[in-house]
Structure 1
Amino acid sequence: MEHFKDFRHTNFKVGDIQLFKNISKDELLKIKQQLDYCPVVTAKSGEIVLDSQSSGACLYVVLSGILALTSNTSKRQLENSTIQYFAGECVGEISVLDEEASTATIAAVTDAQLLLIDSVIMWRLIDDSNGVARNLLQLLSFRIRTTNAQLRNRQKVGEFYRQLSMVDGLTGLHNRSWLNTQLPGLIENAHATQTELSIVMVDLDHFKKFNDQHGHVMGDEALQVAAKVVSAGLRPSDFAARYGGEEMIIILPNTSKESALIVAERLCDRIRHAQVFKDSDQALPHITASLGLATLTEGQDGLAVISSADAALYRAKERGRNQVAL
């Protein structure tokens, strides 16, 4: 940054600086006397004004141009920054107060003229004027609220993408990652509360034959239809996930073997009658489901109860498919 002139040689009014708003004329006159010999510098577009490498505690007041909080000084990044500073606003107040290096990077979006108020003068202004101290506190309060809002937004975005990563893109059910993350907790809770938990494994019968006959696009649609049938047939407290390929897994918390059997048989029947070809009356052609049911027993973990449900699934297949087995 180049030293351009001092504050005496600008047309900028002290009262237009955010930090000196709503202060009496007499106080503004004293403040101007303190600022008159403070340097005014020019920052070129893209130039870093303040970062962790900046030397000396100093407040920067924007007299013209625009600054932005950024992690990248490319023109596009600067222009799209959600936090920008315009004429009358200031940056660097934290560094003045704690005399530590800045933790943020501030750069010029456009060519900008900046008034530099060093820490000695800034502290003198704070000591001499309750109005300056009040405005500084209000500014810091606004900065804290803005930072907190950003953190909340980042948390929401992070949670959105975390949830998105737990959903199977084809069926809309939870995916295997979700299952691996959530099932241990559900199992642990069932053991701790001594409540029943049942698992149902669902496998679409002869699905390879269906794909070979009707194509993989129609096969995907058949899988989506079956997944919708499963989702629609569950309570809000139940869970369904795509286990892999054409296999799905259903978790029924607080559900006995007898109640789970009713759920499984209902789903088996609904899949049998579900319609894939929307442009005809043909039901799922040659697509039915085999379901295996197991209920958590004392000492079992997630892998063990899934293994039990999987063994029951193979018994359903061995008995002719299109049915539920325990």
Structure 2
Amino acid sequence: MEQIKDFRHTNFKVSDIQLFKNIHKDELLLIKQQLDACPVVRVKSGEIVLDSHSSGACLYVVLSGTLALASNTARRQLENASTQYFAGECVGEISVLDEEASTATIAAMTDAELLLIDAVVMWRLIDESNGVARNLLQLLSFRIRTTNAQLRNRQKVGEFYRQLSMVDGLTGLHNRSWLNTQLPGLIENAHATETELSVIMLDLDHFKKFNDQYGHVMGDEALQAAAKVVSAGLRPSDFAARYGGEEMIIILPNTSKESALIVAERLCDRIRHTQVFKDNIRALPHITASLGLATLSAGQDGLAVIATADAALYRAKERGRDQVAL
């Protein structure tokens, strides 16, 4: 950062500075007298203007060029910065007010010229001009609203990616991470409210043989077809997740064993009649599923009820597959 002149030797109008807009011309003359001796510096593209290591409280007014709020000074990062500062705008006002180091990093996106107003001069301007004080309050209000909006946006983006990380990329069902996170709460709620909760474990029959005969691409299509049947056969309050491989788990809150059995038998029948290949040239493969059903008992946790449903699933397989077992 190199001093090249002071403000009196520039052609920049005081009224063009955001902080001094809409101020009576008589006050502007007094403000200009205060600013005339303030230095003007030149910064090069990529150079840091303000960060946590900056010494001395100072307001920086952009006279030419562009500054940017950046996580680092890489050219691409600066160009993609969500917050940029152009001629007439300023940065560093909070550090002037609280005399603390900046929590943000401001860097030059292009070569720029900056007017430096130190804390002593800035406070004198605030004391002597109601217009400056008013503009500063409006600027700080805008900064706070902008920051809050960015935080809300980041929270929404963060929640989007969190939800995305809970979805199985192949089937579109929830994944094991979702199950591990959500099942304990569902179990706890069922116990606390003394309501029934049923779990169905579903496994596609002879899936290795299906993959060997038709290939893994068709195997993926079979999984997707089965997942669509499961999703379409559930209520909005029910949940389905890919448990692993060709195995899926279905959670039915507020559902008795009798009602869950109806759901399981309906899913078994629909999967039996599911079309995997979309064309009519090749013979349709035979895809079936075995399902095991369990209803939450007093004192059971998630692992226990899954183990009970899994044992029922193996009974369905031992009895010949393509059926539901309790």
The residue that corresponds to 1:117 in the other structure is 117
Shift of 1:76: 1.4
Residue in 2 aligned with 1:44? 44
Distance 1:137 1:21 in 2: 13
Residues in 1 aligned to 2:211 and 2:113: alpha-carbon distance in whole angstroms: 68
Report the alpha carbon displacement of residue 204 of structure 1 after superposing the two structures with TM: 0.5
Which digits, 9 at most, give the CA deviation of each residue in 1:150-204, with x for residues without a partner? Answer: 1111111111111111111110000011000000000000000000000000001
Kept in 2, the 8 Å contact 1:57–1:119? The answer is yes
Moved over 2 A (4+): 281-286
For residue 253 of structure 2, what is the aligned residue in structure 1? 253
Partner of 1:191: 191
CA distance in 1, matches of 2:267, 2:225: 12
Cα offsets for 1:276-321 (capped at 9, x unmatched):
1110287862320100000000000000000000011011111111
Q: Which amino acid counterpart does residue 52 of structure 1 have in structure 2?
A: S
How far 1:79 moved relative to its partner?
1.3
The residue number in structure 2 matching 1:20 is 20
5 Å matches for 1:1-326?
Answer: 1-280=1-280, 285-326=285-326
Deviations 1:225-271 (A, max 9, x none): 00000000000000000000100000000000000000000000000
The answer as to whether partners of 1:206 and 1:286 remain within 8 angstroms in 2 is no
Query: How far does the alpha carbon of each residue in 1:93-133 deviate from its partner, in whole angstroms, 9 at most, with x for none?
Result: 00000000111111111111100000001001001111100
Change in Cα spacing, 1:283 to 1:137, as seen in structure 2 (3 Å) is farther
Secondary structure at 1:181's aligned position in 2?
Answer: helix
Instruction: Quote the RMSD (CA, aligned, Å).
Output: 1.0
Contiguous gaps of at least 5 residues in structure 1: none
- 3-state DSSP of counterpart to 1:53: coil
TM-superposed CA distance for 1:40, in Å, is 0.5
Unmatched runs of 5 consecutive residues or more in structure 2 = none
Contact 1:200 1:250 in 2 (8 A): yes
Letter of the 2:93 partner, please give it: E
Distance 1:143 1:292 in 2: 57
- Count residues in correspondence: 326
What residue identity is the alignment partner of 2:58? C
In structure 2, the residue corresponding to 1:104 is in which secondary structure?
A: coil
Contact 2:222/2:276, CA 8 A, preserved across alignment: yes
2:104 partner SS? coil
- What is the DSSP-based 3-state SS (H/G/I as helix, E as strand, rest coil) of the residue aligned with 2:101? coil
SS at match of 1:294: strand
Aligned 8 A contact 1:273 1:283 in 2:
no
Q: Which amino acid aligns with 2:322?
A: N
1:272–1:284 Cα contact (<8 Å) kept = no
